Structure 1
Amino acid sequence: MEDKYVIKALAALAQPNRLQIFRLLVVKGAEGLTPALIAEELGMPANTLSFHLKELMHADLISQERSGRNLIYRAQYDRMNAVLSFLTQNCCQGEPCEVSPEDICKTC
């Protein structure tokens, strides 16, 4: 993964509302959530939520899919794991780590 993609992802997550949205979508899993359910869960106004969802999509951390009249947002686990792998690829100065990148998100 290139530095510019990691920087874009980390910049998107460096805002409290976006971090909350992303974490909620990670917890929700493959089912995803509609904007209405995200707004309800986080107590966030729709226009604020829309702005933050757009930023997370721009960073390729979440995906959007139309299901009938609804939009469903989901965390992009492959992208999340790629960022985590990038951040930990040279950890422990070459010594074995207690947590391998494969263990970071086994349920994803």
Structure 2
Amino acid sequence: MFGRMEIKSAIDSFAALSQETRLEAFRLLVHHEPEGLAAGEIARQLAVPHNTMSAHLAVLARAGWVSSRRQSRSIIYRADLAHMQDVLRFLVRDCCGGHPEICEPSLTLPGACSTINAERKTP
């Protein structure tokens, strides 16, 4: 059985993504890995006011879905793919009659992102 704290952490992570703008922002950041995007560009692409987007990004950061770094006058956000893998592992840990290795291909999705992005760039 899962510990209370682990379940609470998972619930907090899911809650952060359970809002449309935050989910769209996370998906946009996954699409832009590994470079990330400036907060203003995320707001522009999602047609969300900058201050509203900042609040959404703060929720995602507290839940572990994104990380940020300052670059000159901008804050660059990136999807935290390790957190995404941890959440996926949490979901599939007891899958397939106690044989989680069967679900292992699902857990390698973040590594597949670079392959998919390379394919997109090939004409």
TM-score (norm 1): 0.88
- Assess, with a 3 A threshold, how the Cα gap between structure 1 residues 101 and 41 changes in structure 2: closer, same or farther: same
CA RMSD of aligned residues (A): 1.9
Q: What's the % identity of the aligned pairs?
A: 42
Match of 1:106 in 2: 111
The superposition leaves residues 73-105 of structure 1 with CA deviations (integer Å, 9 ceiling, x where unpaired) of 001111111001110111122356365344322
Structure 2: gaps (5+ residues): 114-123
CA distance in 1, matches of 2:98, 2:40: 46
How many equivalent pairs are there?
108
Q: Quick check: 2:95–2:103 contact (8 Å CA) kept in 1?
A: no
Q: Quick check: 2:37–2:76 contact (8 Å CA) kept in 1?
A: yes
Match of 1:41 in 2: 45
| Selected match of 2:12 from 8, 16, 19 | 8
- Partner of 1:49, secondary structure, is helix
- Partner of 1:31, secondary structure, is coil
Query: Equivalences for 1:69-88 in 2 at 5 Å?
Result: 69-88=73-92
- Partner of 1:72, secondary structure, is strand
Q: Quick check: 2:37–2:78 contact (8 Å CA) kept in 1?
A: yes
CA distance in 1, matches of 2:20, 2:51: 16
| Selected match of 1:53 from 53, 57, 61 | 57
Partner AA of 1:58 in structure 2: R
Structure 1: gaps (5+ residues): none
CA distance in 2, matches of 1:79, 1:92: 23
CA distance in 2, matches of 1:91, 1:97: 8
TM-score (norm 2): 0.78
